[in-house]
Amino acid sequence: MANKVLVETSARHIHLTEDAVKALYGEGAELIVKKMLSQPGQFATANDKITLVGPKGTLAVSVLGPTRKANQVELSYTDARVLGLKNVPVRESGDVENTPGLKMVGPVGEIEIDAGAIIAKRHIHMTPADAEAFGIEDKQIVKVKIESERTTIFDDVVCRVHPNFALAMHIDTDECNAAGAFGEVYGEIIL
Decide: 102 and 50 in contact? Cβ < 8 Å: no
Per-residue pLDDT of the chain (191 residues; tens, 9 = 90+): 578 999 999 999 999 999 999 999 999 999 999 999 999 999 999 999 999 999 999 999 999 999 999 999 999 999 999 999 999 999 999 999 999 999 999 999 999 999 999 999 999 999 999 999 999 999 999 999 999 999 999 999 999 999 999 999 999 999 999 999 999 999 999 98
CA atoms within 13 A on the CB side of 148: 20
1 CB neighbour count, 10 Å cutoff: 7
Is the full-model pTM beyond 0.75? yes
Environment class of 55 (CB within 10 Å of its CB; exposed 0-12, middle 13-18, buried 19+):
exposed
With CA atoms as reference, report the closest residue to 124 among 106, 135, 113, 138. 138
> What phi and psi values does residue 103 have, to the nearest 5 degrees?
-95, 140
